[in-house]
Copies of this chain bind each other. A is one copy, B any other.
Amino acid sequence: MRDFVCHGDILFAREADALEVYESGYLVVQEGRVEGIYPVIPEKFENFPRKDYGRGLIIPAFTDLHIHASQYVQRGIGMDKLLFDWLNDYTFPQEARFQDMSYAKPIYDAVVRDLLLHGTFHASLFTTIHYDASDYLFRALEEKGLYAYVGKVNMDMNSPDYLCESTEESLRQTERFLAEHPGTGTVKPVLTPRFAPTCSEPLMRGLGKLAGKYHCGLQTHLVESRAEKSWTLELFKDYGSDAEIYERNGLLENGPSIFAHFIFPSQADLDIVKRADSTMVHCPDATTNIIAGIMPVERLHGEELPIALGTDVGGGQGMGVYRQISRAVQLSKLKEFYEPEESKTITFPHAFYMATKAGGRVFDHVGSLEKGYRFNALVLDNLEDAGCILTPVERAERFCYTGDERNIVARFIDGKEIHL
């Protein structure tokens, strides 16, 4: 059933500055896309089947543009460690196990299930360096109709022996991944150099050639912490900024470029990502956990840089990107406290926009309920306490601050209801 009418309280963010709300509205879905929202059902849709959610809240499904699928099993573990201990003690040994498909499969199955459960129907995911497991995740996401980018990770230096490829092998397996996954469905392959310090210049150059040959985009970490930034510029001495590494090697020309964190950009970084129409990903819990700092969201938004949200599981602890909406507001408040000259607090509507339409831009017509958008949507229950009526905006806010997947009572992808 891809033609029908949904009734409920409808809420989405067309822009960052306000939420659009239609209380007791009728949303017409035609061929799996939003046809329109009406106060009463127009005559020509009167014979469409109807779903009445009463005071349920109909919102766009969420977009999470930074997930390490392979770190799913690390959620909430070793979180009081410092970054390099966390990587060496937990992350790298754990990622190495994805060589073994009997280890990888149940974990990637759980990732796909949790994306559906938490209403994240659009995502960009890192796997590991391993081809077979990456292939498995790609197909598992596609089978469920999720919209996603999946990248086999590249690492050819500054990595533990057991998790380091040769440059040639890294490029060969990446090309194989691109060739075998042309991305004609809802899931597309994306180049995924882990971050500059683990990728040699020849590897970057090779990836740039593959980007052109296979017309694909890029996801990676960029100026995530002061330490990472200065390390990168030591390793790439001929480059004037971190972003330049990707630009000069031809990685920004053939698809969306998705940069996680982007906390300490130089002006050159900013100029490059704007030219490339890149999308930045703010991951509030993760940048707190690794003591990276806080992204200057308000300032970058003022410069018209697109900013999405990400969970960064397992650097971030939870799979529901809706929680990062509340955390983005919270971190903007802390940033205002500590750096008042740098920042203003962001509003709940702004953060909601980041996790829906702003991140959705790297896909096609997802993340909003405007006319023509795919009906990738969630219905929330009313989230109210006895005797206390909440407005639609209050219900959306409460969901992001304290709700969880139990509050999601219906899920749609391309107008098709998903039953878990």
Which B residues lie within 8 Å of A394 (CB)? Answer: 77-78
- Chain B min CB distance to A331 (Å): 8
Which of A213-221, A253-261, A271-279, A396-404 is the contact stretch?
A: A396-404
CA distance A334 to B294 in the complex (A): 9
- Chain B min CB distance to A226 (Å): 10
| The residue from B103, B345, B400 contacting A76, defined by CB atoms under 8 A apart | B400
| The residue from B72, B80, B333 contacting A289, defined by CB atoms under 8 A apart | B333
CA distance A400 to B289 in the complex (A): 14
Within 8 A of B (CB), among A386-420: 386-388, 390, 394, 397-404
Q: Is the CB of B337 within 8 A of A402?
A: no
Given the known inter-chain contacts A107-B385, A385-B107, A386-B107, please indicate yes or no for A330 contacting B288, CB distance below 8 A: yes
Q: Is the CB of A397 within 8 A of B79?
A: yes
Q: Is the CB of B76 within 8 A of A401?
A: yes
Q: Is the CB of A336 within 8 A of B79?
A: no
Report if A212 contacts B (CB, 8 A). no
Report if A348 contacts B (CB, 8 A). yes
Q: Is the CB of A334 within 8 A of B398?
A: no
Which B residues lie within 8 Å of A285 (CB)? Answer: 330
Q: Is the CB of B291 within 8 A of A398?
A: no
> Residue of B at shortest CB range from A394?
B77
| The residue from B75, B110, B293 contacting A398, defined by CB atoms under 8 A apart | B75
- Chain B min CB distance to A372 (Å): 30
- Chain B min CB distance to A224 (Å): 13
Which B residues lie within 8 Å of A404 (CB)? Answer: 404
CA distance A402 to B394 in the complex (A): 23
> Residue of B at shortest CB range from A338?
B338
Q: Which 5 pairs between the two chains have the least Cβ-Cβ distance?
A: A76-B401, A76-B398, A106-B386, A317-B401, A76-B402
A-B contact pairs, 20 of them (CB 8 A): A76-B326, A76-B400, A76-B401, A76-B402, A76-B403, A77-B398, A79-B348, A80-B329, A80-B345, A80-B348, A103-B387, A106-B385, A285-B330, A288-B330, A288-B333, A289-B330, A291-B337, A317-B326, A317-B401, A318-B402
